[in-house]
Chains A and B, each alone.
Chain A
Amino acid sequence: MSDNQAIAVEHEAHNPALLHHFSSEQQQKNAASLGMWLFLVTEIMFFGGMFCAYLIYRVQHFNAFAAASQQLSIKLGAFNTAVLIVSSVTVVLAVKAAEAGKRKLLVSYLVVTVLLGMTFLVVKGFEYREKFEKHHVPGPTFNFTDTFDDNGKQIPVNPKEAELFFSIYFAMTGMHALHMIIGCGLFSVLAVFAWKGHYTPGYYTPIENAGLYWHLVDIIWIYLFPLLYLISRHS
């Protein structure tokens, strides 16, 4: 402990990023990192409520959920999944660049991440537009006449139950998209700060913590894709 304090006193003189109430940079970094992980826990609980609703209704109304799920575009969903996985890689590379103190590389990885995030959102927008055109948006104009194709056997489904699927679909993907928008904003700000040289190999906690957030939002999508798009697609 006394070593840490000695180091702290030494650094206090020339590191403006160390806040007064911490005794060392290590303590400050650990606190920020623990705080971020706890925030991710709250995010998991936040989405958890919707995953819980999804699970119960999928069990109760499986045929309708399968039929409605088959109206989603696997191609667009898979493309978006790939986009997000690549964006997670660029985030990792951004953290590495920050660690190595390569400012221009850091900025370009942050910008690429934002562009990939926006690509995801644009594709999602096209998917939503298709849902509006096909009257698959819950509400007074909702219309669903498809059947569930169970290995060649056509099982009619209750359109009200399909509407429930689309309620869950819009609630979950909408909340996820909102998190993507926040993430894009966050990384844009970080890119500006990185360009101005705020981050050094000794201090890049914001990049690391924003990266954790981005990975979590990606992971949530990686669960959403099979759960929403791939119900009973084995035929």
Chain B
Amino acid sequence: MASTVIPANQAPASTTTNYLNNGHSLKSWLLTTDHKRIAVLYLISVTVFFFLGGFFAMLIRLELLTPEGDLMQADTYNKVFTMHGMIMVFFFLIPVVPAVLGNFLIPLMIGAKDLAFPRINLLSWYLYVIGVLLISHVMLTGGVDTGWTFYSPFSTEYTNTKIVEAGLAAFIAGFSSIFTGLNFIVTIHRMRAPGLTWNRLPLFVWANYATSIIMILGTPVVAITIVLVAVERLFHLGIFDPRLGGDPLLFQHLFWFYSHPAVYIMILPSMGVISELITCFSRKRVFGYNFVALSSIAIAVIGFLVWAHHMFVAGISLYAAMIFSFLTFFVGVPSAVKVFNWTATLYRGSISYATPMLYAFGFIGLFTIGGLTGLFLATLGIDVHVTDTYFVVAHFHYVMVGGVLMGYLGGMHFWWPKISGRMYPEGWAKLSALLVFVGFNLTFFPQFILGYVGMPRRYWQYPPEFQVLNVLSTAGASVLAVGYLLPMIYLLWSLKYGPIADANPWRAAGLEWQAASPPTTFNFDETPVVTWEAYNYDEIDANGHGGSH
């Protein structure tokens, strides 16, 4: 689509007051309660940690380039994959879409001036930062070697690495996420503009609502689990210690009770992004709005009932395993509803191929592969064969990277003109979308094969016959790294040199496009009144202007 842009020499943006130029001091940023500025603070901090987690990923891939353990020792390798997992899960994937895009967009999308609790929102970011400082301290003083899952009794009894500090970092980051979820739920319930009924809410808001439910119900459980691990190490209480009659399996149950739904905390907001992109770039109302909206809630609810599929070989009863296997298939239904409805939305739409849409297409394809291989793993017989192999690694990277990151990057490009007031360079963006897609598949598709033929995860050495596929994977990771570095460079470049964007460069539906680009501090001059359905692209295109009416 040809985006509506104003040449840079007519720049009106610098003369008007918006959230970015309303105060330039460091204090005006660090003590801000503006949801948009807090989103920018999150954007900076999660980006730093994304590249740090990516650095550890590159160390893993470099070690696995050759069958011998020649780059690092086994102990170092254990610490490297643990840091990769902890950073990516707790400090990137969980906060990334809700805390950056959700924080920025939810008040704009519902026509509010801010989130319900702006100071708690700032507190969330500070908690995140404290977590970041703690995990950095752990990283610099010896690391952790348990994997990001902290399985007992290794974590409680045997390892002498920094479990308590790392656990505290995850605990504090967890409270950051609890407060974000609480803030979103209250905001979506209480702060909607007049006329914006639940049936008119953007699907991104529905997705974040479902995410927030999981955040407030699941995160406290992992928080207490981490506390129990810590007191077991510090005071020798024996909650999970089998020598005291405790049960290590209980740890796994409590841990996965949060950590499986946490996967949906990561993917649901990205699914919300995809709903926005698909409708805008096919100029159509989403197919089956109610089903897409409620499938988010269904995923949140059913997602709480599938955790023990992480424990099929850990010693749970066969009957329990069968029930959890069935429920895991069941949670695939609402995810499939979304994929079918997105593709049905494309049908007879006027599709255009701007960068955000390329990421949306990437998301649909990669998430489908990630989701379907999840069903392989839900099948008890196959799970026994591929448990703890690279098949599992490939599966969850297809969902976490192929899904969450594709949605995040797509959304970042789509809303970049709203966040920064500038357009990104389309050619470079298309190139990097292509690099991400190719690099991603080259990295992780070989891992499905590696896992299927028996390469276990978390080993620093492997038999020589696995080398070809590992070399492919490492080569893919290098392409992927370039694909991730490029957007950071050209988005920063566009802050100064990008063409100035008008309020609605995509002629998109949604209240956020009625606010200025970038929005003023209080978003709207007067509270909007909503009289139209979501995604009314027929009316927008018929009237020839963005917005509504």
Contacts and interface: CB of A to CB of B under 8 A. Distances in A.
B108 to A, nearest CB: 13
Given A20-B113, A31-B191, A42-B182, A61 B223 contact: no
A48 B191 CA distance: 31
B527 interface: yes
Interface residues of A, number: 42
B194 A1 contact: yes
Contacts of A61: 245
Contacts of A42: 178, 182, 216-217, 219-220
Interface residues of B, number: 44
Contacts of A175: 224, 227
B254 interface: yes
B235 interface: yes
B221 A39 contact: no
A167 B237 contact: yes
Nearest to B236: A139
Contact of B190 (A19, A31, A41, A171): A31
B190 A57 contact: no
A16 interface: no
A227 interface: no
A199 to B, nearest CB: 19
Contact of B116 (A5, A31, A48, A158): A31
A208 interface: no
A99 interface: no
B243 interface: yes
B533 interface: no
Contacts of B182: 35, 38-39, 42
B31 to A, nearest CB: 16
Interface in B78-130: 112-114, 116-118, 120
A160 B238 CA distance: 9
B308 to A, nearest CB: 14
B450 interface: no
A167 B244 contact: yes
A149 interface: no
A12 interface: no
Interface in B221-264: 221, 223-225, 227-228, 231, 235-239, 243-247, 250, 254, 257
B238 A167 contact: yes
Please report whether the interface of chain A is mostly helix, strand, loop or mixed according to DSSP: helix
A164 B186 contact: no
Contacts of B245: 57, 60-61, 64, 158, 160-161, 163-164
Given A34-B189, A38-B216, A52 B238 contact: no
B238 A163 contact: yes
A213 B190 CA distance: 21
Residue of B220, B228, B235, B243 ringed by the most chain A CB atoms within 10 A: B220
Interface of B: 112-114, 116-118, 120, 178, 182-183, 185-187, 189-191, 194, 216-221, 223-225, 227-228, 231, 235-239, 243-247, 250, 254, 257, 522, 527
The 9 closest A-B pairs by CB, nearest first: A46-B220, A167-B237, A21-B113, A45-B220, A49-B224, A21-B114, A31-B116, A31-B190, A139-B236
Given A57-B247, A138-B236, 16 more contacts: A21-B112, A31-B117, A34-B185, A35-B182, A42-B219, A45-B220, A46-B223, A49-B221, A52-B250, A53-B228, A60-B245, A160-B245, A164-B238, A167-B239, A167-B246, A175-B224
Interface of A: 1, 5, 19-21, 23, 27, 30-31, 34-35, 38-39, 41-43, 45-50, 52-53, 56-57, 60-61, 64, 138-140, 158, 160-161, 163-164, 167-168, 170-171, 175
